[in-house]
Amino acid sequence: EAGVAQSPRYKIIEKRQSVAFWCNPISGHATLYWYQQILGQGPKLLIQFQNNGVVDDSQLPKDRFSAERLKGVDSTLKIQPAKLEDSAVYLCASSARWGIYNEQFFGPGTRLTVL
């Protein structure tokens, strides 16, 4: 079974530029998550989708971050404009179930550096 795919793996941009990350979850997984992991910290949830609907985006900085999951499969996370403090690893995860039994499986992540 193929795992969660993400691209690009690395991205370097200047502050105030825009960037987009792509995620393809494990086949059949209805729930998709985007996390931000800053060095030395645990992952922090940004947004959660159930199929193509948003379940939780309470920690997404909506003035600059946006995400969509068209057709309930692939997802894109965008940052516009980027700030220095957005430098982090952006992780996508998926789970087959929603609720308390939501074992989540992570993709390899995208390491973003904002200069």
Partner 1 sequence: QKEVEQNSGPLSVPEGAIASLNCTYSDRGSQSFFWYRQYSGKSPELIMSIYSNGDKEDGRFTAQLNKASQYVSLLIRDSQPSDSATYLCAVNAKGNSGYALNFGKGTSLLVTP
Which chain residues interact with partner 1 by CB under 8 A? 33, 40-45, 48, 50, 55-58, 89, 91, 98-109
Smallest gap from residue 114 Cβ to partner 1 (A): 19
Q: Which is nearer to partner 1, 14 or 28 (CB)?
A: 28
Q: Dihedrals φ, ψ of 85, to 5°? A: -70, -5
Smallest gap from Cβ 59 to partner 1, in A, equals 9
CB-nearer residue toward partner 1: 71 or 99: 99
Closest CA to 11 of 94, 82, 105: 82
Instruction: Considering the complex, state which of residue 75 and residue 104 has its C-beta at the smaller distance from partner 1.
Output: 104
Q: What is the DSSP pairing of strand 110-114 with strand 88-95?
A: antiparallel
Residue whose tokens read 């940052």? 79
- CA atoms of 115 and 59, how far apart (whole Å): 24
Pick the closest to residue 80 from 15, 34, 32, 7 (CA basis): 15
Query: Residue 58 or 84: which CB sits closer to partner 1?
Result: 58
Shortest distance in whole angstroms from residue 63 CB to partner 1: 19
